[in-house]
Amino acid sequence: MQMSLLQPPTIRMGLLLIVISFVGICQSADSQRPPNIIFILADDLGFNDVGFRGSAQIPTPNIDALAYSGVILNRYYVNPICTPSRSALMTGKYPIHTGMQHTVLYAAEPRGLPLDLKILPQYLNDLGYTSHIAGKWHLGHWKKVYTPLYRGFSSHIGFWSGHHDYNDHTAVEHGYWGLDMRNGTDVAYNLHGQPTTDVITKHSLNVIASHNATKGPLFLYVAHAAVHSGNPYNPLPANDDIVSKLSHITKYKRRKYAGLVMEMDDSVGKIVAQLQKYHMLENSIIVFSTDNGGPVEGFNSNFASNFPLRGTKNTLWEGGVLGAALVWSPRLTKLPRLAEQTMHISDWLPTLVEAAGGKQALGNFSAAILDGMSLWSALVNDSISPRKSILHNIDNIWGSSAITVDEWKLVNGTNYNGAWDGWYGMSELRHPSDYNWDQVTKCVTGQAIQKLKMLPSRADQIRLRRAATLTCQNDNRGAVCNPLISPCLFHLAKDPCEKNNLAKQYPKVLELLLKELQLANATAVPPSNKPDDPRGNPRLWNYTWTNFGDYSDSKNNIITNSPIVLQNCI
Ligand SMILES: *[C@@H]1O[C@H](CO)[C@@H](O)[C@H](O)[C@H]1NC(C)=O
Ligand SMILES: *[C@@H]1O[C@H](CO)[C@@H](O)[C@H](O)[C@H]1NC(C)=O
Ligand SMILES: *[C@@H]1O[C@H](CO)[C@@H](O)[C@H](O)[C@H]1NC(C)=O
Ligand SMILES: *[C@@H]1O[C@H](CO)[C@@H](O)[C@H](O)[C@H]1NC(C)=O
Ligand SMILES: *[C@@H]1O[C@H](CO)[C@@H](O)[C@H](O)[C@H]1NC(C)=O
Ligand SMILES: *[C@@H]1O[C@H](CO)[C@@H](O)[C@H](O)[C@H]1NC(C)=O
Ligand SMILES: *[C@@H]1O[C@H](CO)[C@@H](O)[C@H](O)[C@H]1NC(C)=O
């Protein structure tokens, strides 16, 4: 019998009614309660380095289990390099609109993501969330107001710059060298020797364990150092025990890279298990995404694979911008599936805010002039994406730009003078049948998802993985593309590997895309890059990277005492 909560309680039935209505309220509140949001961002992960995309070389069973029981994002774009991509994630804006479009933020630069921009945790906090970050920030730290605790996060264990050594936590950059590991705004000397992936995982688990749901939902941003390379003296600091399990990978450096990927996969499993342990999993949205395409064949001293896509990290080819990603949540319908909805990393802000119940705040987004669009309803119900075009970037310093409109992509100019315009990592494939399906079921995430009865049959998993495996025909109808000479045009639906330049065959389409690019270019703000500030040199600050701008002015006068040693030689 359905008990109406509106039924007037009689004295005799009072107690019974109270009990029943309590249960009823809990149940309905549960499905309507705003979801916890766990955003796991891998650093520099290649498109071809997750099992669910068809590679069998690196075991990623935890990530794959989420993919096979959630939504694989098949047309999901990121920016081609760290800072621009992270700025788009946090602000919902293209980097050309925040000044973050040119290369990364270097650790001694006196700049950061502009402070007038409201960012994702701040939007979510306004909806009752508590936000935490574990891992890499890379959006500015020269003054503390640019750092996570001043921008909506309640805690941060991690680092401020773009990369560091996974064991000693120092970052070498432009001849400067210093420790970069923080607990909030304090230097975390105590974490020396603890592998970064473990530190990030531990903080994530602590945040989940101590989250008090009666105070609202959780936003946890897990920004891995993995699988970015470390310092030149040890570029791929993977755990030897894990690397030794990967003897099927013949190239040693690729094997070490694979070890970093596996450690990160393991972390995903621990986080999922912790969410389940604290009864949060069934009310969570988990996003797993790379920040940009993988650095291949020694690029940045790393050995990712984006095969069969063209290019590498920091190029505007698909290999630089088509990201490996998935979204998992019991709130999504028609699961599992491969999503064809076009999406850009800047879309997460409005998408997650809508998922968090902040649809009315969407009205305010137009005032904030977001480039991101909410895909929440498109992703939940598998309906059409509102997004028709993606500006991949315009970098007027390097002279490169690219835009996709519907199925067409324009590439004008290129970085590295064309040195990284090829296809890489073909030898990184093992035969797809080598894939270990048992691991998907047996791994921690597979187990957790089975408890929710969300893991599909093996046949469905195989079908999904096959659909997510990209192949390219050798159809050479088009011309060879040299974007340093003239803009190239590709039809991505037929040619995701960018082999056939159709600029000559489709002059009208080319013209239309060039016009779109010019329109976008007219709205660009100047890039905010600054030369390294000598005050940022860690040598001056007890060999730590710090918020030097708070302690000294541009004339090198000390304006307030630093909590860490300042040597007398600015
Ligand atoms: C961070 O600092 C807090 C407060 O001092 C402390 O309780 C916590 O254990 C520290 N975390 C780590 C990982 O060192
Ligand atoms: C959770 O928060 C509520 C409301 O502030 C408080 O009453 C309760 O004691 C907290 N629970 C724990 C375990 O801290
Ligand atoms: C829109 O922004 C204004 C100013 O920040 C704020 O006062 C208002 O509550 C917001 N409206 C909604 C619907 O979020
Ligand atoms: C999904 O579709 C259902 C049925 O049409 C609708 O009630 C619901 O609001 C949709 N969800 C979202 C997030 O748009
Ligand atoms: C290509 O980009 C360059 C700048 O990088 C720009 O000057 C040029 O106008 C662009 N080409 C076209 C055809 O728009
Ligand atoms: C964008 O506009 C600037 C001038 O404001 C110009 O120098 C640059 O070449 C343009 N870039 C592209 C890609 O058209
Ligand atoms: C300087 O760094 C060392 C570790 O390298 C640390 O033990 C010491 O406490 C630091 N000094 C200050 C003043 O922070």
Atom of ligand 6 nearest to the CA of 518: 14
Which parts of 278-338 fold into alpha helices (H)? 318-321
| Confidence class for position 190, pLDDT limits 50, 70, 90 | very high
Nearest to 86, CA basis, from 55, 127, 117, 124: 117
What pLDDT, on a 0 to 100 scale, did the predictor assign at position 237?
97
The reply to whether ligand 1 has any atom less than 6 angstroms from the CB of 450 is: no
CA separation (Å) from 262 to 59, 60, 63, 248, 465?
Answer: 7, 6, 10, 14, 19
User: Where does 323-420 show beta strands of DSSP type E?
Assistant: 325-328, 337-339, 343-344, 389-395, 400-405, 408-412
The reply to whether ligand 3 has any atom less than 6 angstroms from the CB of 360 is: yes
Amino acid 545 reads W
The reply to whether ligand 3 has any atom less than 6 angstroms from the CB of 185 is: no
User: Where does 11-162 show beta strands of DSSP type E?
Assistant: 36-42, 71-73, 76-77, 130-136, 155-159
Among all bound ligands, the one having the nearest atom to the CA of 484 is 5
Mean pLDDT on 517-546: 96
DSSP string, 166-227: TTT-EEEETTEEEE--EETTEE-GGGTTS-HHHHHHHHHHHHHHT--GGG--EEEEEE--TT
Ligand 2 pocket test target in 214, 218, 278, 279 with most atoms within 8 Å of CB? 214
What pLDDT, on a 0 to 100 scale, did the predictor assign at position 17?
35
Structure tokens at 377: 């309803």
What pLDDT, on a 0 to 100 scale, did the predictor assign at position 376?
97
Q: Is 243 exposed, middle or buried (0-12, 13-18, 19+ CB in 10 A)?
A: buried
Atom of ligand 3 nearest to the CA of 358: 14
Backbone angles phi, psi at 449, to 5 degrees: -70, -30
Hey, whose CA ends up nearest to atom 8 of ligand 1?
183
Q: What is the 18 CA–ligand 4 centroid distance (Å)?
A: 32
Say how far apart CA 245 and CA 499 lie, in whole Å.
36
Ligand 2 pocket test target in 212, 215, 218, 279 with most atoms within 8 Å of CB? 212
Q: How many Å is the Cα radius of gyration of the chain?
A: 24
82 is catalytic: yes
Q: What is the 183 CA–ligand 1 centroid distance (Å)?
A: 6
* Block residue for tokens 């935890």: 62
Say how far apart CA 315 and CA 165 lie, in whole Å.
25
Q: Are 422 and 430 in contact (CB under 8 A)?
A: no
Hey, whose CA ends up nearest to atom 6 of ligand 5?
399
Checking if the pLDDT of 29 tops 50, the result is no
Provide the mean pLDDT of the chain: 92
What pLDDT, on a 0 to 100 scale, did the predictor assign at position 472?
86
| Confidence class for position 322, pLDDT limits 50, 70, 90 | very high
Structure tokens at 102: 């040119």
Checking if the pLDDT of 224 tops 80, the result is yes
Among all bound ligands, the one having the nearest atom to the CA of 527 is 6
Catalytic residue among 102, 132, 138, 228: 138
Mean pLDDT on 311-326: 98
The reply to whether ligand 2 has any atom less than 6 angstroms from the CB of 474 is: no
- Choose the weakest-confidence range: 271-280, 440-449, 551-560: 551-560
Say how far apart CA 295 and CA 293 lie, in whole Å.
7
Q: What is the 420 CA–ligand 6 centroid distance (Å)?
A: 23
Domain 19-130+190-468 has CATH 3.30.450.40: no
Q: What is the 106 CA–ligand 7 centroid distance (Å)?
A: 24
What pLDDT, on a 0 to 100 scale, did the predictor assign at position 565?
66
Ligand 7 pocket test target in 189, 191, 539 with most atoms within 8 Å of CB? 189
Structure tokens at 437: 């399906």
Backbone angles phi, psi at 343, to 5 degrees: -145, 145
Checking if the pLDDT of 568 tops 60, the result is no
What pLDDT, on a 0 to 100 scale, did the predictor assign at position 555?
78
Mean pLDDT on 474-502: 91
Question: What residues contact residue 434 under an 8 Å CB cut-off, 6+ apart?
Answer: 56
Checking if the pLDDT of 25 tops 60, the result is no
Backbone angle region of 472, left / alpha / beta, with phi > 0 → left and psi within -120 to 50 → alpha: beta
Hey, whose CA ends up nearest to atom 12 of ligand 7?
564
Among all bound ligands, the one having the nearest atom to the CA of 374 is 4
CA separation (Å) from 436 to 65, 324, 511?
Answer: 12, 20, 48
Mean pLDDT on 446-475: 94
Amino acid 146 reads Y
Amino acid 241 reads D
Neighbouring-strand partners of residue 155: 132
Among all bound ligands, the one having the nearest atom to the CA of 363 is 3
What pLDDT, on a 0 to 100 scale, did the predictor assign at position 10?
34
Sign of CA dihedral 293, 227, 222, 136: negative
Q: What is the 127 CA–ligand 1 centroid distance (Å)?
A: 27
Hey, whose CA ends up nearest to atom 14 of ligand 4?
377
Atom of ligand 1 nearest to the CA of 188: 14
132 is catalytic: no
Q: Are 70 and 79 in contact (CB under 8 A)?
A: no
Q: How many CB atoms lie within 10 A of CB 7?
A: 11
Hey, whose CA ends up nearest to atom 10 of ligand 1?
183
Domain locations along the chain: 19-130+190-468, 533-570
Q: What is the 157 CA–ligand 1 centroid distance (Å)?
A: 8
Say how far apart CA 474 and CA 425 lie, in whole Å.
17
Report pLDDT digits (tens) over 85-124.
999 999 999 999 999 999 999 999 999 999 999 999 999 9
Q: Can the peptide bond before residue 308 be classed as cis, meaning omega within 30 degrees of 0?
A: yes
**CB neighbour burial string for 120-132, b if at least 16 within 10 angstroms, e if fewer:** bbebbbebebbbb
The reply to whether ligand 6 has any atom less than 6 angstroms from the CB of 394 is: yes
- Any idea what the Cα angle at residue 361 is, between residues 359 and 366, rounded to 5°? 110
Q: What is the 158 CA–ligand 1 centroid distance (Å)?
A: 12
Checking if the pLDDT of 5 tops 60, the result is no
Q: What is the 383 CA–ligand 4 centroid distance (Å)?
A: 10
The reply to whether ligand 6 has any atom less than 6 angstroms from the CB of 401 is: yes
Checking if the pLDDT of 234 tops 90, the result is yes
What pLDDT, on a 0 to 100 scale, did the predictor assign at position 478?
75
The reply to whether ligand 3 has any atom less than 6 angstroms from the CB of 361 is: yes
Neighbouring-strand partners of residue 344: 77
Report pLDDT digits (tens) over 332-384.
999 999 999 999 999 999 999 999 999 887 777 776 789 999 999 999 999 99
The reply to whether ligand 2 has any atom less than 6 angstroms from the CB of 209 is: no
The reply to whether ligand 1 has any atom less than 6 angstroms from the CB of 157 is: yes
Ligand 5 pocket, residues with Cβ under 6 angstroms:
396, 399, 401, 412-413, 487, 514
The reply to whether ligand 2 has any atom less than 6 angstroms from the CB of 210 is: no
- Give the three-state DSSP class for 338: strand
Q: What is the 412 CA–ligand 5 centroid distance (Å)?
A: 7
Say how far apart CA 130 and CA 5 lie, in whole Å.
31
What pLDDT, on a 0 to 100 scale, did the predictor assign at position 566?
62
The reply to whether ligand 1 has any atom less than 6 angstroms from the CB of 183 is: yes
What pLDDT, on a 0 to 100 scale, did the predictor assign at position 44?
98
Q: What is the 145 CA–ligand 1 centroid distance (Å)?
A: 21
